[in-house]
Structure 1
């Protein structure tokens, strides 16, 4: 009987993981720039500051302020291949984290990505 309850738990976990992945896909498709962040993270602040400088509106999901934040972060690893934050998406594509966004801006490659 114990193995049956284990199957039920893993099945519900799988459904919730699919729900979270669906949420991520929907979130990154709804806004031009989406940042999965933690409110206390200096690299997250670095990424958000770059977008403030270029006056680009962004949608920020502060994972430490959400009940499902840990699940989102786990599922981001499945989507992008890394767990760290921030995870920055432009036009639905992950461009990396804070240092990556700062480097894109410094090299002049960020603004063209934001046009269109």
Structure 2
């Protein structure tokens, strides 16, 4: 859990992902389209990925990826991020965290 918190706080936007996950790809694409350059941590390519996946499940991520953090705070999974995007608050969250500028 400490590694998750440490990695999540190092950049304004952080996505824990797996290379084979289509929803992860969609969320990463959304962030890029909004102008953000999130830190991406591919759990299936990290030697500690399995432990980090269990820690993310402990935070309530089910499925465990994608898990999105903005401004060091856990935002949620794909459905949470898409909901925030649809209601217009995702962009503001990214601006408040200084992940994008307008």
Please indicate, yes or no, whether the TM-score normalized by the shorter chain is above 0.5.
Answer: yes
Equivalent residues of 2:68, 2:76 under 8 A apart: yes
Q: Which residue of 1 aligns with 2:61?
A: 82
Q: Which residue in the other structure is 1:66 paired with?
A: 46
Q: Structure 2: any 5+ residue segments left out of the alignment? A: 97-102
Could you tell me the TM-score, scaled by structure 1's length? 0.76
User: Following the alignment from structure 1 to structure 2, what is the Cα–Cα distance between the partners of residues 99 and 53?
Assistant: 17
Matched length: 95
Which one has the largest radius of gyration? 1
Structural RMSD (CA): 1.2
Unaligned runs of 5+ in 1: 1-20
Structure 1 runs of 4+ off > 3 angstroms?
none
Deviation track 1:30-88 (CA, whole Å, cap 9, x = no partner) reads 1111101001101111110110110111000000111111011011222x123421000
TM-score (norm 2): 0.85
Which residue of structure 1 lines up, in the alignment, with residue 24 of structure 2?
44
1:5-24 equivalences under 5 Å are: 21-24=1-4
Check if 1:107 corresponds to 2:92.
Answer: no
Q: Which residue of 2 aligns with 1:96?
A: 76
Distance in 1 between residues matched to 2:21 and 2:32, nearest whole Å: 17
Of Structure 1 and Structure 2, which has the larger fraction of its residues in helix?
1
> Greater relative contact order: 1 or 2 (C-alpha under 8 angstroms, separation 6 or more)?
2
CA contact (8 A) 2:61 2:77 kept: no
